């Protein structure tokens, strides 16, 4: 992420989760018309989405938030944390229990995708391969 106005808008949405155009303009330090232009480009790119939010009497306000694609623009440290957690599990728990845990996780992930894919007839090994492929996609 650089320091362009669009990057600042994305970072603001990352930290604040949901913002109006005026809130973004204040956070980024430019006028609302300019922010709207940048937000429209980010929406067209699929990085930002919007929805109406009711807050009592009057017109609903439009709030903006990062899409999944927008979230992917930010590197995360979750991978390192996950690796440490997995290593700790392998060191602490008996091997059969670790295997059972991973099998259950694979089943859960496969079930998530089962609606889109016909996985009911696949053997466990192929389910695991499918989950791996989906996670790497």
| DSSP sequence for 41-91 | HHHHTTSEEEEEE--SSSPPEEEEEE-HHHHTTS--SHHHHHHHHHHHHHH
49: which strand partners? Answer: 65
Angle at 76 between CA 17 and CA 5, to 5 degrees: 50
Whether 63 and 53 have beta carbons less than 8 Å apart is answered as: yes
Question: DSSP secondary-structure letter at 115?
Answer: T
pLDDT band at 42 (very low <50, low <70, confident <90, very high): very high
The answer, yes or no, to whether residue 54 has pLDDT greater than 80, is yes
Domain boundaries, the chain: 5-71, 78-136
Q: Return the pLDDT at 48.
A: 95
Which of 3.30.70.360, 2.40.128.130, 3.40.630.30, 1.10.10.10 would CATH assign to domain 5-71? 1.10.10.10
Mean of pLDDT values over 111-127? 72
Which pTM does this prediction carry? 0.56
């Amino acid at each position: 992420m650089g320091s362009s106005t669009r990057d600042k808008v994305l970072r603001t949405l990352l930290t604040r989760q949901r913002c109006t155009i005026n809130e973004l303009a204040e956070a980024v330090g430019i006028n609302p018309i300019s922010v709207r232009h940048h937000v429209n480009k980010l929406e067209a790119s699929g990085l930002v989405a919007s929805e109406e939010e009711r807050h009592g009497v009057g017109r609903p306000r439009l709030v903006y938030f990062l899409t999944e694609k927008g979230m992917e623009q930010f590197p995360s440290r979750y991978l390192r944390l996950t690796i440490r957690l997995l290593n700790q599990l392998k060191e602490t728990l008996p091997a059969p229990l670790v295997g059972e845990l991973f099998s259950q996780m694979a089943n859960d992930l496969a079930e998530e995708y089962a609606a889109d894919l016909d996985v009911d007839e696949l053997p466990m090994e192929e389910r695991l391969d499918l989950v791996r492929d989906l996670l790497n996609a």
